[in-house]
């Protein structure tokens, strides 16, 4: 949503930034931070890295990754001067039943796009009351935005070698959201990388999708193939290595040392649907399209169509 235009004084902008962060935390977000627009040289390097990634074909069939708005934030909100970046911990301390199929944790609860977007919009409406005339736009990861790069710029964490954002206290189990603002707010310090010489994620990936530190080739990625690949059959090299994953993949996050102390989210919207923790192959293959539709109501996993679920399950062989 885009609403109103305004400027604030230096003192007023610091006060507004502090209040906005407080309101963001009241919505359940943590960490929170602010990035300035234009950003530092690091953002330019991230943009150049995106260009190299696209040129190498690592996006596979995800043509939307080439959307020019990822390189020009002003196209999303003309006159943007600041970005509020927020994180929402989605790790839940629960495990799937032994022998059941595996589903990425981000898909266990309610559609996170809706959860994050609704809270960002509440922040935007609060901002309209607090500072009339300020324009804003809420963005989740479905928007053409370099979301991890802007979160890094705002100090939430650093982009790890597995390409996920890592916060030193909360690890990488973070849903990201951004509020683009026409108000000029004081920026937080960008985060510094703390991956060091660790290569746990590269070594753990069963398909070697992390072709070099910080670079994921979607054509080799289990998450891409189980969610985005629309072909009737999966590539043999994927199907041989994907068990037990049938919707996304968390392997590179599970082995990350920064996730060893992950705290369990108490957010009701993010608690797992019970069937996702005990998804049995034979039973799931017998579900009708209607059953899949009902089970995945208000879920981010609705992106996977019933025929894709069945294909993924059969691919485990």
- Strand-pair partners of 159: 165
pLDDT of residue 261: 87
C-alpha 94/C-alpha 213 separation (Å) is: 30
Q: Residue with structure tokens 């608690």? A: 271
Structure letter (DSSP) for residue 242: -
pLDDT tens sequence across 258-305: 999 889 999 999 999 999 999 999 999 999 999 999 999 999 999 999
Whether the link from the prior residue into 190 is cis, omega within 30° of 0, is: no
pLDDT tens sequence across 173-188: 999 999 999 999 999 9
Neighbours of 249 (CB within 10 A): 24
Contact 180, 137 (CB under 8 A): yes
Q: Residue with structure tokens 């022998």? A: 99
| Positions marked active-site | 141
C-alpha 11/C-alpha 28 separation (Å) is: 27
* Range from 10-14, 42-46, 135-139, 262-266 carrying the lowest mean pLDDT: 10-14
C-alpha 106/C-alpha 102 separation (Å) is: 12
pLDDT of residue 12: 72
Nearest to 103 by CA among 306, 315, 304: 304
Structure letter (DSSP) for residue 167: B
- What does the radius of gyration of the chain's CA atoms come to, in whole angstroms? 20
Contact 37, 181 (CB under 8 A): no
Contact 181, 82 (CB under 8 A): yes
- pTM tops 0.75, yes or no: yes
């Amino acid at each position: 949503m885009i609403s109103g235009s305004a400027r604030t004084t230096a003192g007023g902008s610091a006060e507004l930034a502090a209040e906005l962060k407080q309101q963001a935390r009241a919505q359940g977000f943590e960490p929170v931070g602010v990035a300035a627009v234009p950003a530092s040289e690091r953002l330019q390097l991230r943009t150049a890295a995106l260009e190299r990634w696209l040129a190498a074909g690592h996006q596979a069939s995800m043509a939307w990754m080439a959307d020019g708005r990822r390189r020009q934030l002003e196209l999303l909100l003309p006159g943007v001067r600041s970005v509020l970046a927020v994180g929402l911990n989605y790790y839940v301390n629960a495990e799937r039943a032994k022998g059941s199929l595996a589903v990425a944790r981000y898909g266990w609860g309610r559609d996170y796009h809706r959860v994050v977007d609704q809270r960002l919009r509440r922040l935007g409406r609060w901002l309209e009351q607090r500072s009339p005339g300020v324009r804003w736009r809420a963005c989740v990861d479905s928007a053409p935005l370099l979301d991890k790069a802007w979160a890094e710029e705002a100090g939430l964490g650093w982009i790890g070698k597995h390409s996920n954002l890592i916060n030193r206290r909360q690890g990488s189990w973070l849903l990201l959201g951004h509020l683009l603002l026409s108000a000029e707010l004081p920026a937080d310090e960008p985060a510094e990388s703390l991956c060091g010489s660790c290569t746990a994620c590269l070594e753990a990936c069963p398909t070697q999708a992390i072709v070099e530190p910080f670079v994921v080739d979607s054509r080799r990625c289990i998450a891409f193939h189980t969610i985005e690949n629309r072909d009737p059959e999966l590539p043999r090299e994927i199907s041989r290595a994907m068990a037990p994953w049938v919707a996304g993949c968390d392997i590179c996050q599970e082995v990350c040392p920064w996730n060893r102390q992950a705290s369990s989210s108490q957010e009701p919207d993010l608690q797992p649907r019970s069937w996702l923790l005990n998804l049995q192959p034979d039973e799931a293959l017998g579900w009708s399209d209607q059953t899949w539709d009902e089970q995945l109501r208000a879920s981010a996993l609705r992106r996977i169509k019933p025929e894709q679920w069945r294909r993924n399950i059969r691919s485990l062989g």
